Structure 1
């Protein structure tokens, strides 16, 4: 099961867990209220997994590739890690399925506080369009992930502030409705 928690305010060493003291865990229902969806899948059999095939079909995830984030395999590794960790949003869903390794997705809650989501082998997450988020590796410094997309991929991150985009306004409307 996925682990998520509210983060402390420390800015140094993003690869550390940064759990609040005392701990403030976050459950799947709270993530769902933010529009974040989660599945636990069989990463050893991702090529033939009927559950992954069903999710892709139902959510229209027609495009797929695999990225390995490792200093020896990813060109411009240091620059990419910095870019991934800058707070940003996308105009479409962001879907990641961890095939090997581990890392953290951080998302903002309704009060603009950071929630850290620990992702490891078999975890798949969908972040809604318009949610502010970031990604970093953990102390293992390695992840191999499947990237999924509905239609042709558009990888443009829009760093905060990006509140003028329709995707952000739609996300904020979704959050307002979720509170009611």
Structure 2
């Protein structure tokens, strides 16, 4: 996993958009973003490591999502646009990359800059509830990810706006960032 500031240049969202300024792991942690690298292996030994993290963080459910042009067909472009809209969730967003690669962009508070996180096979990333973020594939146009959930699987994006800014989960997130 590699993190850096998004360059804000126009162009395809699936390009690197690397400003050349890296973001260190401790800066991500100060935003509440956690990460691990757990290599995917043919013997499925990685499952034990994922299970351990799931127990420690109280994740009770999981599923797998495949995002490909072939798999999504006509809905592919619309789905990518939806994932790339700035939003937050009222629950953590947990993804373990089984194959392929993509980008999670998170808003750095309080400056509102985009931090781009390039995730690849074996990366596990946890975005805290209340953080504004977005997702896109990279130029490989494929990602297979395990999604983990604290409770029943749900994925409800709340697009950024005045109502979302007033959401109690957003306020809790901002308080946690201010405490760092």
CA deviations over 1:83-123 (Å, ceiling 9, x no partner):
00000000000000100000000001121000000000000
Q: Report what 1:86 is aligned to.
A: 85
Question: How many residues end up aligned between the 2 structures?
Answer: 175
From 151, 167, 170, give the equivalent of 1:168. Answer: 170
**Equivalences for residues 27-176 of structure 1 within 5 A:** 27-44=24-41, 45-46=43-44, 49-74=47-72, 76-110=75-109, 111-161=111-161, 162-176=164-178
* Coordinate RMSD, CA, aligned: 1.3
Q: TM-score, normalised by structure 1?
A: 0.93
CA deviations over 1:23-66 (Å, ceiling 9, x no partner):
11011111000000001012225576321111011111111110
Name the CA shift for 1:40/1:48 in 2 (closer, same or farther; >3 Å): closer
Q: Report what 2:4 is aligned to.
A: 5
Matches of 1:19 and 1:105, distance apart in 2: 13
Matches of 1:48 and 1:170, distance apart in 2: 33
Gaps of at least 5 residues in structure 2 are none
Higher strand content, 1 or 2: 2
Matches of 1:24 and 1:150, distance apart in 2: 34
Higher helix content, 1 or 2: 2
CA deviations over 1:54-84 (Å, ceiling 9, x no partner):
1011111111110000011125211111100
Aligned partners of 1:42 and 1:49 also within 8 Å:
no
Matches of 2:138 and 2:56, distance apart in 1: 31
Q: Could you tell me how far 1:126 is from its partner in structure 2?
A: 0.3
Q: TM-score, normalised by structure 2?
A: 0.93
